[in-house]
Structure 1
Amino acid sequence: MLRTRFAQPITAAASSSTRLQLHTSSVLNAESQRRRQARQTRQGNLAKRAELQQKAASQRPHVVLGTIPGNEAKWTSCDLARILVRPEELAPPATPEVVHTMSGDIKLPKTFSYGIGEHEKTLLFSHLPMLTAEMSTRFLEARSTETTNQEKLQQGFSDEFRSSVTKANVFAKLVDLRNANARGIAFENRRRVIAEFSEPGKPNDTGRAEVQACTAALLTLQIRNLWNHLTKYKRDTGNRRSLRHLVHQRAKMLRYLKSVDRDRYDRVLERIGLEPTSVEGELVV
């Protein structure tokens, strides 16, 4: 009798503890499900953020080159790329330009180096051989003690003119851009940039806001040459620091131009092939 009465409370306690245990496990299972759902949501948000960042990075222009990766049309169609020395200019011309003279022909190169333009070309290869022959003939006539007849003077003039034509052909090969080294080609590129982007009549006045385009174009040319060098020699840390300095210097100059004249700033970016976001904001090189 007493044992039966003691057994009933023990059975009731056991049944209540079982119910309590089942209730607790269900609560824990429900909590883990909420955590799992929150974790899945967080992972989905992180994946979406990474996708957006990757998409933004693919559309962000290169901080050095200033163009969007995979879209080089902005650079190839700009004024700066158009005036630079191209590989086809360094190839032998199919039909070279020839200056015809009475003592022979002078073959001119396709592109001259060292700043020889049309005016200098006319003086060097059309007028200079004739003037050299005349001066040499007069000098010989003045030094001669005997009276020289007209036939000898004509023969001397022909010989001197033939020699001048030969020297002009040799000089034309020397000033050919194909014979120039890297410094010669860089000099020609700088000359073209200054002639294209400077104000008329003031090619070296780069201090005013109106001619910041010339300096920005020269910096862009230097930056691209240095970038091509660093792609081949990746351990050149000295030039890498120089590249970083040039990029920030160009951005500083263009931002100043933007604060002075926004329309000219937009035109300059279009002419040198740069995206606005490549010179604005924080630049990490």
Structure 2
Amino acid sequence: MLRTCLSSCSRAVASTSQTNAFHTSAPTLSQATKRIGVRNKKKNLQKTAQRLQEAAANRPSVVLGTRTAEEEEKWKNCLLSKILVNEAELASTTELTKQNFPVGDLELPKQFGHGVAQTEKELLFRDLPMASAQIGTEVGKEEAKMGDGVLEEDELREQRKANLLAKALDLRNANAGGIAFENRRRIIHAFSTPENPFDPGRTEVQVALLTYKIRNLWKHLPQFKADVANRRSLRKLIHQRGALLRYLRNNNRDRYETVLEQLALEPEAVEGELVV
């Protein structure tokens, strides 16, 4: 009887220990699997973050339109950069060019402001002084009955006046508004067609003018970080440029690709959603 009880008790103890061992190993295995899963998740998140960071670093700026590493080279070689007034170079230049006109030699600046191009230059420094000298000569002859020396005197006077006018029209004497006006004039001429050399309504002209304004604001904002109004203006200009470029892409792909190259803009910077 005693032997039977002892054997029953030992079987019960063995059964209990086996059951406990089975129940304690399962949670341990579950925790290990969970730790591995968490570790793998962290690795995946780190890889994703790194991938996104690399993609963001390689993505062109929606403001400038170029990648950071390529900005200086691409901007320097594009058409828009080449036609704009180089203010540093302008300020360092003091040289005048001597040119011969009917009233004599005139010293003219290399760059004119106030919208004076070649046509206006010929009118102001060739036609106008000569016409004024001839009118003065005729009046002088009638009033004073003088000889041919009157024409020479009038021409010398007109020569002095023309030299003073040239100094007044020198782009180096222009303020910020005058330089901006000259830049806009150059942009309109450069991005218009030969058939219509002054076409401010052309899509390419509008995109170029917007890009010029965007770059000016982008240079201004780091110096005036509290300028909230201009930050809003910058966003508005970027979205306006994007809308015009989408319109051009849908209507004429060749013109779209050409203007992107002329303005140093990458397609990724102007296509899709623009987050500024």
- Please give the TM-score of this superposition, normalised by the length of structure 1: 0.86
Residue 93 of structure 1: how far off its partner (Å): 3.8
Deviation string 1:37-78 (CA, Å, 9 cap, x unpaired) is 111111111111111101110111111111112211222221
Distance in 1 separating the partners of 2:207 and 2:104:
46
Separation in 1 of the partners of 2:101 and 2:48? Answer: 74
Alignment of 1:1-285 (within 5 A): 12-72=11-71, 73-87=73-87, 89-93=89-93, 95-100=95-100, 105-144=105-144, 148-150=145-147, 153-154=148-149, 156-205=150-199, 211-285=202-276
Residue-pair matches, total: 275
**What TM-score do you get using the length of structure 2 for normalisation?**
0.88
Q: Tell me the distance in 2 between the aligned counterparts of 1:42 and 1:92.
A: 60
Moved over 6 A (4+): 4-8, 101-104
Whole-angstrom CA distance in 1 between matches of 2:195 and 2:139: 40
Cα distance in 2 for partners of 1:103, 1:117 equals 20
Q: Quote the Cα distance in structure 1 between the aligned partners of 2:133 and 2:192.
A: 40
Computed over aligned residues only, the root mean square deviation of the Cα atoms, in angstroms, reads 2.6
CA distance, structure 2, for counterparts of residue 85 and residue 250 of structure 1:
22
CA 1:92–1:110: 2 relative to 1, 3 Å: farther
The aligned amino acid for 1:172 is A
Task: Give the distance between the partners of 1:259 and 1:63, measured in 2 at CA.
Answer: 20
Query: Could you tell me whether the CA contact under 8 Å between 1:220 and 1:272 is conserved in 2?
Result: yes
Once residues 9 and 228 of structure 2 are traced to their aligned partners in structure 1, the CA distance between those partners, rounded to angstroms, is 82
Identity of aligned residues (%): 44
Q: Secondary structure at the match of 1:91?
A: helix
Output the CA distance in 1 between the equivalents of 2:252 and 2:240.
18
Unaligned ranges ≥5, structure 2? none
Distance in structure 2 (CA, Å) of the matches to 1:248 and 1:239: 14
CA contact (8 A) 2:103 2:130 kept: no
The range that moved more, 268-277 or 135-144, is: 135-144
Letter in 1 for 2:264: G
